[in-house]
Structure 1
Amino acid sequence: MKTMPRVLIVEDEPAIAELIAVNLRHSGFQPTWAMDSVTAQCELDAVLPDVILLDWMLPGESGLSLAKKWRAHPRTKAVPIILLTARSDESDRVAGLDAGADDYISKPFSTKEMLARIRAVLRRRAPEQDDGVVSIGALVLDAATYRVTFQEQAVKIGPTEFKLLHYLMKHAERVHTRSQLLDRVWGDHVFIEERTVDVHVKRLREALGAGGAMVETVRGAGYRITAQPVAAVPPAQPAVSAA
């Protein structure tokens, strides 16, 4: 017998939470409701859900803060998180995705859209259980421990930059358009502008320091990561003295 996917609803408005829960139950999901960060953490500690619907504006600790915390914790880092919020500016969407959310739904939203996005993140997460180590030259990424090193020095990197780097390293030397990176790193159902990729590439390069040169811009095409060594400076030629 197929088990129903568990959905943790973290929402402080009872009417909204109940509406979501009813629609989830009717669509084959098993919802659990938490009205604040403390209750949500207790629910997570008890049973790990398959997906979290997380309201941005909560009493006490915000949804954004919770997303960052859960994404950084080994036990909850792989659980898909969908942010629910009335904040719909692009900067807010980027902030939510930066915090580790897999998707973002602006209120008010239709139940059909909500269900479609839940199914999408579950589909996308299922085959992505890659906890291996990827290395290119002196750059090493360990997906299991969420660590990146360059020349054996730890690199501090944000969640979105980590996903971007992981994807580029798994497909080294290939050129990826901004549109392809949005689909593969952010998801094909996330609607943000392509220039957002440029912002995260810039942050990734800054985080990698000297290793940032490995992330190349291919003019008119997109981005790639390469293991090509930095070109050596040719030795100085001896001066020719006048006869």
Structure 2
Amino acid sequence: MQRILVIEDDGDISELVAMNLHRRGYEVLQAYDGMTGTRMAYAELPDLIILDIMMPGKDGFEVYKALQQDERASRIPVLFLSARAQLEDRLVGLELGADDYVAKPFSPKELMLRVQNVLKRYAPKPGEVEVVRGPFRLDKNALKLHLDGEVIDLTASEFKLLAYLVERAGSVQDRYEIQKNVWGYGDDVQTRTLDTHIKRLRQKLGPYADHLETVRGVGYCFRFDD
């Protein structure tokens, strides 16, 4: 049974989300403030975190940044759920590396579909547990990149993006298709998110950054000559 941690300070909303998750067979953990939610994420390592932004003490953005400092917690997919529906707030959440952003008020049915989509994207597929291209070795079970034998710390979204490109090495990938397959949809908001993630990946890949090629007017391509 997959476990989902709901970090939400509004008790009514938390119970509504938990009830719908229970109905679909998920195990639900609940925290009502950012500090408690962060501790539970470290201790429980759930399969997904549904994270409110506007909370007293430690808001959702701060919680997310704290999770990225922990090797294991940084690999947990995060879906922001917030009353802050402005485009700027959504951009901040997605550019931090979150996997989705749902604005309040929300449709429980839509939220459950988005939860399913995020979990599906991170579920390893049979026969595709490990991807190897030269010095790049991606462990899809652990969401880890081994580069020349060294483990490179990637967020869950960064790993998903790199794996998508590496699996299609040598083939130019359209921006819309990348966004749709990595984040679940390809609207304009995701455009900046994609570019931000590529920039961060290149920084982390160091001397191997050139393998991520920008194809102007089209998208990106992972180049590797055997």
Q: TM-score, normalised by structure 2?
A: 0.76
Name the CA distance, whole Å, in 2 between partners of 1:78 and 1:128.
17
Contact 1:68 1:100 in 2 (8 A): no
Matched, 1:195 2:184: no
Q: Deviations over 1:23-55 (max 9, x none)?
A: 333443333321112322443455443322111
Q: Deviations over 1:139-162 (max 9, x none)?
A: 646555845758x99978776445
Matched, 1:83 2:80: yes
Letter paired with 1:33: Q
Q: Which has the larger radius of gyration?
A: 1
Name the CA distance, whole Å, in 2 between partners of 1:67 and 1:78.
11
Match of 1:95 among 92, 96, 104: 92
Of stretches 110-119 and 36-45 in structure 1, the one that deviates more from structure 2 is 36-45
Residue equivalent to 2:8? 11
Matched, 1:109 2:102: no
Q: How do 1:112-151 residues align onto structure 2 when only pairs under 5 Å count?
A: 112-127=109-124, 132=130, 134-136=132-134, 140=136, 143=139, 144=142, 146=144
Matched, 1:57 2:51: no
Match of 2:36 among 36, 39, 47: 39
Matched, 1:66 2:66: no
Residue equivalent to 2:20? 23
Name the CA distance, whole Å, in 2 between partners of 1:80 and 1:158.
9
Distance 1:35 1:178, change over 3 A: same
Residue equivalent to 1:235? none
Residue equivalent to 1:176? 173
Q: Matched residues, percent identical? A: 37
Name the CA distance, whole Å, in 1 between partners of 2:45 and 2:204.
32
Contact 2:7 2:33 in 1 (8 A): yes
Contact 1:97 1:160 in 2 (8 A): no
Name the CA distance, whole Å, in 1 between partners of 2:6 and 2:81.
10
Contact 2:76 2:156 in 1 (8 A): no
Distance 1:25 1:213, change over 3 A: closer
Name the CA distance, whole Å, in 2 between partners of 1:215 and 1:45.
32
Name the CA distance, whole Å, in 2 between partners of 1:27 and 1:82.
17
Name the CA distance, whole Å, in 1 between partners of 2:28 and 2:100.
18
Contact 2:71 2:153 in 1 (8 A): no
> Matched residue pairs, number?
222
Name the CA distance, whole Å, in 2 between partners of 1:168 and 1:66.
29
Contact 2:83 2:104 in 1 (8 A): yes
Give SS of 1:15's match.
helix
Give SS of 2:17's match.
helix
| Unmatched segments (≥5 aa) in structure 2 | none
- CA displacement at 1:203 relative to structure 2: 4.8
Distance 1:49 1:146, change over 3 A: closer
| Unmatched segments (≥5 aa) in structure 1 | 230-243
Distance 1:135 1:73, change over 3 A: farther
Q: RMSD over aligned Cα, in angstroms?
A: 3.5
Residue equivalent to 1:223? 220
Letter paired with 2:102: I
Letter paired with 1:65: E
Contact 2:131 2:138 in 1 (8 A): yes
Name the CA distance, whole Å, in 2 between partners of 1:204 and 1:51.
22
